[in-house]
Structure 1
Amino acid sequence: MDDDVSTEILEATYRALCKHGYADLTMQRIADESSLSKATLHYHFDTKEELLNAFLDDFLDRFGERLASESSDPRTRLDAFFDAIFAPAQDDTGEFPIALVELKSQAPYNDAYRERFVEMDRRMREVVASAVRDGIESGEFEAADPDTVARFVVTGINGMTVREVALDESPAETRALVEEYLDQRLGYAPEVAA
């Protein structure tokens, strides 16, 4: 598939998912968000589920790119990770967290969705555990089990999405709690913007 067509389909899927939610998402509604016809969508994807799997793959790739940090400093890597996780997307209308929770709610019934969310969780835990491990080894952080710390942090992040959607709680509140936990557990003090 041509990159431009692929990009248009995936961006239209994002918009339609945000606008209509998972339950009311149709191939026609995705087509309506693009310059393409429903027939063109079906030419590239046999079903809505196939298209949503491609959407989740793309989302996972982009998410992984946002989490990547070239810094060798573990504190800087954690700060960059938190900036990527907790900062709102610049073009986000606030509807995507709702769509994401809806997609996650389908994971118990859809193995393909579950696999993608398991991979997302694994990548987040890997970033946190690696930074924590490096910080402990360099003496910058206090001793702790990096995998346990990462699991706790990622559990908080996953809960943040539900709290944001269901309780209208700001992600900044979860970030403050996570950073407080890391400070108590590791002696991590986040960088403060000047």
Structure 2
Amino acid sequence: MENDTATEILEATHRALCRRGYADLTLGAIADEADRSTSSIHYHFDDKETLLREYLDHLHTRYIERIDAVDGGTSREELGSLLQRAIGEVEPASKAPFRTALLEVKAQAPYDDAVRERLRAFDEFLLGRVEDVIADGIESGQFDEQVDAAAAADFLVTAVIGARTRNVALGHSADVRKSIARYVDAQLVAKEPTEATR
């Protein structure tokens, strides 16, 4: 498939998903967004499910680029920036059609192995990145050596995903960033400077 055509169709899928939601997403709606015929969409993708999988792969590539772009001077700063990027903007669901549509897609995971596999890739990537930053912080003495990097990363990623889901599903807009920062300061940051940080 030509790269330009693929990108155009995937971007049209994004627009159609945001406008219509998952339940009303059809190849016809995507074709309308792409200003193409349905047959031209069928030429590249067999069905909506195949296109959705490709779209999730496309999102995953962009997600990796966004998360990999996060950097910080210290492990604490990098962890804060990484979690802030992962949380994204906290806003009412009515102003976040993409997040609403993505939540609908996530609801398909228990019934669709291919969707679940792709969503797991997002989760594992973020989890691994957070765990690596925490492990680096422990090694450098910025974080307490008693911290279990894997358990802390799992808790933080769960908090981020929960905050996003509550925001979309319930319009809950509490600033979870402050709670996460308090957790990091109270549970991860080394209380006494170590040789590595002196």
* Residue 50, structure 1, aligned to residue 50, structure 2: yes
Instruction: Give the unaligned 5+ runs of structure 2.
Output: 191-198
Q: Conserved in 2, the CA contact under 8 Å of 1:18 and 1:99?
A: yes
What is the one-letter code of the residue matched to 1:108? P
Instruction: Give the unaligned 5+ runs of structure 1.
Output: 189-194
Give the whole-Å Cα distance in 2 for the aligned partners of 1:87 and 1:102: 18
Match of 1:81 in 2: 82
Match of 2:196 in 1: none
Q: Deviations over 1:74-103 (max 9, x none)?
A: 2232133123223339xxx51011111111
Match of 1:192 in 2: none
What is the one-letter code of the residue matched to 1:24? D
Deviates more, 1:66-75 or 1:31-40: 66-75
Give the whole-Å Cα distance in 2 for the aligned partners of 1:77 and 1:6: 34
Q: Conserved in 1, the CA contact under 8 Å of 2:12 and 2:33?
A: yes
Give the whole-Å Cα distance in 1 for the aligned partners of 2:89 and 2:14: 16
Give the whole-Å Cα distance in 2 for the aligned partners of 1:116 and 1:66: 17
Q: Conserved in 1, the CA contact under 8 Å of 2:131 and 2:149?
A: yes
Give the whole-Å Cα distance in 1 for the aligned partners of 2:178 and 2:59: 26
Q: Conserved in 1, the CA contact under 8 Å of 2:53 and 2:115?
A: yes
TM-score w.r.t. the length of structure 1 is: 0.88
Equivalences for residues 140-159 of structure 1 within 5 A? 140-143=142-145, 144-159=147-162
What is the one-letter code of the residue matched to 1:167? L
1:132 positional shift: 0.4
How many pairs align? 185
1:157 positional shift: 1.4
Give the whole-Å Cα distance in 2 for the aligned partners of 1:96 and 1:160: 16
1:127 positional shift: 0.8
Equivalences for residues 68-147 of structure 1 within 5 A? 68=68, 69=70, 73-88=74-89, 94-143=96-145, 144-147=147-150
Q: CA RMSD in A?
A: 1.9
Q: Conserved in 1, the CA contact under 8 Å of 2:71 and 2:81?
A: no
Give the whole-Å Cα distance in 2 for the aligned partners of 1:162 and 1:70: 26
TM-score w.r.t. the length of structure 2 is: 0.87
Q: Conserved in 1, the CA contact under 8 Å of 2:27 and 2:41?
A: yes
Give the whole-Å Cα distance in 2 for the aligned partners of 1:122 and 1:29: 32
Match of 1:191 in 2: none
Give the whole-Å Cα distance in 2 for the aligned partners of 1:121 and 1:3: 27
Which 4+ residue blocks in structure 1 deviate beyond 3 angstroms? 69-73
For 1:121, what is the secondary structure of its paired residue? helix
Give the whole-Å Cα distance in 2 for the aligned partners of 1:79 and 1:145: 18
Match of 1:26 in 2: 26
Which of structures 1 and 2 has the bigger CA Rg?
2
